[in-house]
Every structure is written in C-alpha cells, then in structure tokens.
Amino acid sequence: MSRKEIHDLKILIRSLDIRLKNEEISREEYDDLKAKYEVKLEEELKLVKDTSLIKNLSYISISGSGKVTDSYISISGSGRVDGWKDGSISISGSGKITDDEIKVSGSASLPGNLKTHTLMASGSIKVDGPIETNVFSVSGSCKIRGYLVAHEKLDISGSGKIFADIKGGQVLSSGSLKAVGSILCVNAELNGSYKIDGNVECQNSFSSGLDSECTIGGDILCSGNVRIEQENRRGRLKVEQIITQGDVYLEGVTASYVCGKKVELGPECDVAKVEEKS
C-alpha cells in the first residue's frame, strides 16, 4: 500500500464519526468498520516501517542541509550515512539516496555488495566492493573494488578503475579505463585510453577510437562488426586476437591473429595472421 492510500485510509476512519453523527450508519456498524480499518491501518504502517529505507540506519550526519524520510535521503553539503545496505555512504557535495537510485554531485564513498536501479555521479565515487545496477553513469572518476554489472548501460566519462569483470548491456568509455578482469557485454565503445587485463566479449559490435597506448590482455570476441580507428597517429592497441563473425576494420592495431567475414587493415597495423571466413 502506498503512502497516499494510507493517508486515504486515515481519512476514511475519521469520516466514520461524521457518518455516525448524521445517522448514516448504526453504532454497531461504526464499531465494526472502525475496528477493521484500524487493524488494516496498523498492518500497513508496520509494513511501510519494515521496508523503510532508514529502518536499519545506525548513523546519519549532515553538514549543510539535508532531508531524511522513510523513502529517501537528500544531502547538500557533506554527510555520512551508516547502515544503508549493510555499509556506509559519505557524500561531499550534494546527493540523493533512495532504494532505487543514488545520485551524487561531488564525491562519495559507497558500500560494496550494492544493488540499485540507477547510479549517477558527477565528480568522484569509490565503491568498496561489487555493484549491480541497471544504469551506471559517472562523469569524473570512479573506483570499484569488485565487479561492476550494469544490465542496460554503463557510461564512464573520465577515469575508471574496476578491480574485477565488467558486465553490461551497452558499455561506453571515454577518457581512461582500467579493468582487472574482462568486459562481457552486448556492445562496447571504448574511446581514449584503456587497459583491459582479460577479454572483451561482445554479443554484437565493438568499436574504439584510439588516442593513446591501449592494451587488451586477452582477445576481442564478437558476433558483429569490429572497428578500431586512430584519433591521431599516436593511438595504438595491443591485443592477442580479434575473432568475429562480422567485418573488421583496423588502424594502429598489433595482434597475433585477426579473423572476420571481411578484414581490412589500415595504417600502422602489425598483424601476424589474417583469416577471412564467409
């Protein structure tokens, strides 16, 4: 039951007094209905309290201005929240925390084993463990001490360091990205500089704009097209193998083996073996 419905139930209970006074209902009906409504109200209030965002909070400190309710915490200035999702959150700047969404402008430190629908941050964030979201968007810097899952979209603009695998629908990166693991996604678009220790595995396509030295410790494995272009002549990528069912266009790539439906090597490529499979 929503808070509006709880509010309506309270009004309904108060209206019984008016109905009784106007002799619209008998005393027996009044007592019976009031008892039923009050039991229902007590049950719903308990349910709201049990599922409250702040039920398990052990400590809240806000310097500046803020607001704390059962459903959200808003901080403008700096603050710390302990006990949320079995961890603590500290924010310097402004932020909003709900069961489904975390928004931060400034800097924030978040607990690990975090599950939320949306995380959006401008500035810098640190997550002390793995995180799972539908949408993860950071403009600035982020450090995740665990795996990062973004089922729909992951977008890092600035710098990011992930201490395990990255899994997502669409994975976008511009700036600097380091992953101590693999990237497993539907589509990947990596621009700027990046270092991926494992594989990059895409259900569909992979694209990259190179403007510095980039490395992928494993392979690029795709079902769709692979397109890697230099933003300037300094941009290069070292990767073990590129294997896809789609077309491949490469610039500035060093690899031991490239296989695709059609393979075209542009400037500054060093590929030991090329194979085309229709």
pLDDT tens, residue by residue, 2-22: 556 777 778 888 888 888 888
Between strands 236-239 and 72-84, the pairing is: unpaired
When pLDDT is averaged across residues 179-192 and rounded to a whole number, the result is 96
pTM of the model: 0.75
Q: What does the mean pLDDT of the chain come to?
A: 87
pLDDT tens, residue by residue, 168-183: 999 999 989 999 999 9
**Helical spans, DSSP H, in the chain:** 3-21, 27-50
One domain for residues 41 and 124: no
One domain for residues 147 and 212: yes
29 assigned to some structural domain: yes
Determine what percent of the chain is predicted with pLDDT higher than 70. 88
One domain for residues 147 and 234: yes
When pLDDT is averaged across residues 146-166 and rounded to a whole number, the result is 94
* pLDDT number for residue 54: 58
92 assigned to some structural domain: no
One domain for residues 165 and 31: no
187 assigned to some structural domain: yes
Question: How far is the C-alpha of 52 from the C-alpha of 99, rounded, in Å?
Answer: 9
One domain for residues 11 and 125: no
The helix/strand/coil state of 230 is strand
Reported as a pLDDT band with limits 50, 70 and 90, residue 1 is very low
Question: How far is the C-alpha of 151 from the C-alpha of 200, rounded, in Å?
Answer: 16
Residues in the chain, overall count: 278
Q: Which domain holds residue 167?
A: 102-276
Name the least confident of 83-92, 122-131, 191-200.
83-92
Question: How far is the C-alpha of 183 from the C-alpha of 157, rounded, in Å?
Answer: 17
